[in-house]
Structure formats: C-alpha cells, structure tokens
C-alpha cells in the first residue's frame, strides 16, 4: 500500500528494533498490550523532566499548565470517539471502568432485573456483573453463542427481546479470538426494550475507531495501553445523564463540592469519578498516542492489516494439525489456535526461544475456552506495525517447534 510506509512506521517503535534470545524480536502480542511510538515515550518523559506538577490544584504556572494539558487530552479523546469531553472519565484501565459502572449501578438495579452478558467476554466484563447480580439479586442471562463462537444475530436479538434486560454488556471485539461483534442489531434490540448498553472496547477501540454517538451505547470502556498509550490508564465514556446518575465508586479529594466532618456533597461527572491524583503523565502520553493514530491513514492501515492478517492465516492453515478458532472474515487481526493436543504453554515457551512473543493460556476468557472445549490456546495478535517478515519468522519458528515436538 503506497500510502502506508511500514518501514517508517516500524522506526517509530524503538522496541521493535532489538533481539530477544539472540533472535530478531517478533512481537505478536498486541492484544495484551500495544507497543509505544517514540512520541508517546518522549511526551511521558518530558512531563517528568520539565512539566511535573499536580493538576486541578495549584495556581502556580506548572500546575496550571499540567491541568490545561491534561484536560486537552480529554478533549482529544472526546473528539476521537465523537462525544463530549464531560462524558469521559479517566480510569486505570478497561477493568476499572467496568467496575466503576457495575458499582455505580448498584442503586438502580433491582432483584427483578436481568443483566445480559455473553460467553466471549473477558473476565473483566463478566466478574463485575456477577458481583452486581449477587449484591442486587438481579438475574444474569447469557447470550447464545454458536459452536464456532460466532453469534447468530437474529437469535440473539430474539433472546434480548424475550429477556428484556436492564443492561447488556458486550465486547466490540473478542480479545481471545479477535472476532468483531456485529453490534448494531444487538444494541438496537437492547434499546428497543429500554436496556442500558455497555460496550467493552478494549480490543476494538484502536482498530475499529468507533463513533460512539452513532454506536448508541450508554457506556464504552477502553484501555490506553492497547491504543499505543501508557499502561495504567484507561477510560470510560458514559452518555452524560447515565454517567452522572452513577453512584461514585471511589471517594476522596477532587471529587467533592463541600466536605464537613459529617457530610459531603459531590461534583458532577466526570470529576465525581476522578478522586485522588490521576495518572497525569499517562494521560499526556495517551494524548500523543491519539495524535499518532489520527495522523495515520486509517483506510490504508486497515487494508494493510487485513492483507497481513490474511497472509498469516493462510500460512498458519497450511500447517497440518493446526486448529484455528478465530472467525477469519470479521477479525481485528488475531489468530487463536492450537497444534494437535500440544499444550499451548509448551509451544509458547519454544517460540520465545526464536524471539516470537505471543500469548498462551485462557486469555482471561475461561467461559469461552470451555465453550470451545479447550483449556487454553495460542494467540498471535497482529498490529499495523507488524510486517510480512514477522509473519514469516513466526511460521518458520512454529514449524521448527512442531518438528521438535512431533
Ligand atoms: N476487556 C478486553 C476485551 C480485554 O482484552 C482486556 C485486556 N486484556 C480487558 C477488558 C481489560 O483491560 P485492562 O487489563 O487494560 O484493564
């Protein structure tokens, strides 16, 4: 793709240019966390080197500048997702964002209510709803899933219509499989019965670039570290009236309006949910990540990623004994697979010896693994900074590992 200069892009990611176990690094674990371009590293370092001060507190120059930059990133994130700045809350990740919503809904959910989750969810989008259902008595219902881990959309819409949930929690893309969920009809069905919808965008946010004002969900969570940004940072979008209606999950400084020794009043969202000193350097680094993503040619990037993914899927499928679990037609670039009945940990360890970094295990999706009838899998997750050499290194190494095992 002429408008997508992969050599230039790879040079922006210094970590890629190194050896691991004396082999060229082949990083295929972007589903766990993406690598960081130099601008993100520089922005974070620059904050500590020359700009460090707390936000929303001081009247001195450094503090005012830190506050200004910090709030500017909220504006950037809001623009990225097509929403208003006061609808974004900074959290430490997608996990905290889902917990914030589940805890915040405690007073709105009744024993007669139903919450729908799905079998493909990351544990972060399962356990908080189990806890909420235990605390409130609400029923947890599970959206049906085909044997191959795809959704039968008309059947799911009918399920939602019949169960009339108070809330539907569903991911935009599966972290284990990379499968992209066809959200629009599911959200429309949930909205038709008056449900709130939370979308877990941890995997989808960067690849799918959702416009949240048209997606029509009430809550959307994301992790900055899976979008080229620093670790320890994520965010929650909430439709303003729904967001402001949540009970705060943590209390303390910054989120209050007035405090006496016996009583406090709270500020409105988003401040209400941001008690304590936030991850300022992380937020600024994420601002640089968003600028980097915005400067990429998105259609060219998607085309490049898709071509690379198809190449990797084809090469993998040519190896005898491979079982592939991912939906290859609707995928963000993840190959979930096993080789015969070999333990995924053994293969991942052998692959590491060849400098190939990929994930093995249950990927925090034990219910999905149970559905697929396996304890775990291998997962190669591609990003736009991978190239054909990465795929070739991976397949060649896999073939050598298989030869050792067979
Ligand atoms: N949901 C999905 C789909 C994920 O992939 C992840 C991260 N693996 C999470 C939630 C949790 O994100 P974090 O660990 O950044 O809180």
pLDDT of 339: 97
Task: Record the tokens describing residue 237, joined without a space.
Answer: 């979008």
Question: Which of 241, 197, 240 lies closest to 219, judged by CA?
Answer: 197
Question: Which of 221, 202, 238, 200 lies closest to 85, judged by CA?
Answer: 238
Residues 269-286, mean pLDDT to the nearest whole number: 96
Q: Which residue's CA is the nearest one to ligand 1's atom 4?
A: 202
Residue 3 has pLDDT above 90, yes or no: no
Residues 68-76, mean pLDDT to the nearest whole number: 97
pLDDT of 96: 98
Q: How far is the CA of 22 from the centre of ligand 1 (A)?
A: 31
Cβ neighbours of residue 216 under 8 Å, at least 6 residues apart? Answer: 187, 188, 191, 197
pLDDT of 2: 53
Q: How far is the CA of 313 from the centre of ligand 1 (A)?
A: 24
Residues 368-389, mean pLDDT to the nearest whole number: 98
Ligand 1 atom with minimal separation from the 121 CA:
3
Each residue of 176-199: pLDDT tens digit? 999 999 999 999 999 999 999 999
Contact between 381 and 140 under an 8 Å Cβ cutoff? The reply is no
Could you give the CA distance from residue 370 to residue 36 in angstroms, rounded to a whole number?
Answer: 34
pLDDT of 56: 85
Residue 217 has pLDDT above 90, yes or no: yes
Quickly name the fold that domain 41-294 has: 3.40.640
Catalytic residue among 156, 336, 364, 401: 364
Residues 264-275, mean pLDDT to the nearest whole number: 94
Task: Record the tokens describing residue 44, joined without a space.
Answer: 């974070």
Residue 1 has pLDDT above 50, yes or no: no
Residue 363 has pLDDT above 70, yes or no: yes
Ligand 1: does its nearest atom lie under 6 Å from the Cβ of 95? yes
Ligand 1 atom with minimal separation from the 32 CA:
8
Residues 25-37, mean pLDDT to the nearest whole number: 98
Task: Record the tokens describing residue 102, joined without a space.
Answer: 């589940």
Ligand 1 atom with minimal separation from the 171 CA:
3
Contact between 143 and 170 under an 8 Å Cβ cutoff? The reply is yes
Ligand 1: does its nearest atom lie under 6 Å from the Cβ of 234? yes
C-beta contacts of 132-136 below 8 A and 24+ residues apart: 132/102, 132/103, 132/105, 132/106, 135/106, 136/106, 136/109, 136/110, 136/111
Percent of the chain with pLDDT over 70: 100
pLDDT of 254: 85
364 flagged as catalytic = yes
pLDDT of 209: 87
Does the predicted interface ipTM exceed a cut of 0.95? yes
What CA–CA distances, in Å, run from 353 to 131, 176, 389, 392, 400? 41, 23, 17, 16, 11
pTM more than 0.95: yes
Instruction: Sketch the domain layout of the chain as residue ranges.
Output: 6-30+297-405, 41-294
Could you give the CA distance from residue 73 to residue 237 in angstroms, rounded to a whole number?
Answer: 14
Could you give the CA distance from residue 399 to residue 122 in angstroms, rounded to a whole number?
Answer: 30
Q: How far is the CA of 124 from the centre of ligand 1 (A)?
A: 7
Q: Which residue's CA is the nearest one to ligand 1's atom 5?
A: 175
pLDDT of 353: 96
Contact between 149 and 175 under an 8 Å Cβ cutoff? The reply is no
Residue 27 has pLDDT above 60, yes or no: yes
Each residue of 382-399: pLDDT tens digit? 999 999 999 999 999 999
Residue 266 has pLDDT above 70, yes or no: yes
Residue 170 has pLDDT above 50, yes or no: yes
Quickly name the fold that domain 6-30+297-405 has: 3.90.1150
Residues 39-60, mean pLDDT to the nearest whole number: 94
Q: How far is the CA of 332 from the centre of ligand 1 (A)?
A: 15
Ligand 1: does its nearest atom lie under 6 Å from the Cβ of 175? yes
Mark residue 361 as left, alpha or beta (left: phi above 0; alpha: psi -120 to 50; beta: remaining): left
Could you give the CA distance from residue 319 to residue 339 in angstroms, rounded to a whole number?
Answer: 9
Q: How far is the CA of 123 from the centre of ligand 1 (A)?
A: 8
Residues 10-36, mean pLDDT to the nearest whole number: 96
Ligand 1: does its nearest atom lie under 6 Å from the Cβ of 118? no
Residues 209-229, mean pLDDT to the nearest whole number: 96
């Amino acid at each position: 793709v002429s408008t997508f200069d992969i050599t230039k892009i790879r040079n922006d990611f210094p970590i890629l240019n190194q050896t691991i176990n004396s082999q060229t690094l082949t990083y295929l674990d972007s589903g766990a966390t993406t690598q960081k371009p130099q601008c993100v590293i520089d922005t974070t370092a620059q904050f500590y080197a020359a700009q460090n001060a707390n936000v929303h507190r001081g009247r001195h120059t450094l503090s005012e500048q830190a506050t200004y930059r910090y709030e500017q990133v909220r504006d950037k994130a809001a623009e990225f997702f097509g929403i208003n700045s006061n609808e974004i809350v900074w959290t430490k990740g997608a996990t905290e964002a889902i917990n914030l919503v589940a805890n915040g809904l405690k007073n709105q959910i009744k024993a007669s209510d139903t919450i729908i989750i799905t079998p493909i969810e990351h544990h972060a989008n399962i356990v908080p709803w189990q806890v909420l259902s235990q605390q409130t008595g609400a029923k947890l219902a599970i959206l049906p899933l085909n044997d191959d881990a795809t959704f039968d959309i008309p059947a799911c819409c009918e399920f939602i219509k019949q169960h009339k949930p108070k809330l539907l929690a569903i991911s935009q893309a599966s972290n284990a499989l990379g499968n992209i969920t066809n959200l629009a009809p599911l959200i429309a069905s949930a909205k038709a019965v008056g449900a709130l919808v939370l979308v877990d965008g941890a995997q989808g946010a960067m690849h799918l670039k959702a416009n949240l004002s048209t997606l029509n969900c009430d809550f959307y969570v994301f992790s900055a570290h899976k979008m080229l940004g620093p670790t320890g940072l994520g965010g929650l979008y909430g439709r303003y009236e729904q967001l402001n209606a949540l009970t705060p999950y943590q209390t303390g400084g910054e989120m209050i309006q007035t405090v006496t020794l016996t009583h406090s009043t709270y500020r409105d969202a988003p401040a209400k949910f941001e008690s304590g000193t936030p991850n300022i350097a992380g937020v600024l680094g994420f601002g640089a990540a968003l600028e980097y993503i915005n400067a990429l040619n998105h259609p060219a990037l998607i085309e490049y990623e898709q071509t690379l993914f198809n190449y990797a899927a084809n090469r993998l499928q040519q190896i005898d004994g491979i079982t592939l679990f991912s939906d290859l037609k609707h995928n963000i670039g993840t190959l979930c697979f096993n080789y015969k009945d070999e333990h995924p940990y053994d293969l991942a360890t052998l692959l590491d010896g060849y400098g190939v970094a990929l994930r093995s295990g249950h990927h925090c999706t034990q219910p999905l693994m149970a559905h697929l009838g396996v304890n775990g899998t291998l997962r190669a997750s591609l990003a736009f900074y991978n190239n054909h050499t990465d795929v070739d290194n991976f397949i060649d190494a896999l073939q050598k590992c298989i030869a050792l095992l067979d």
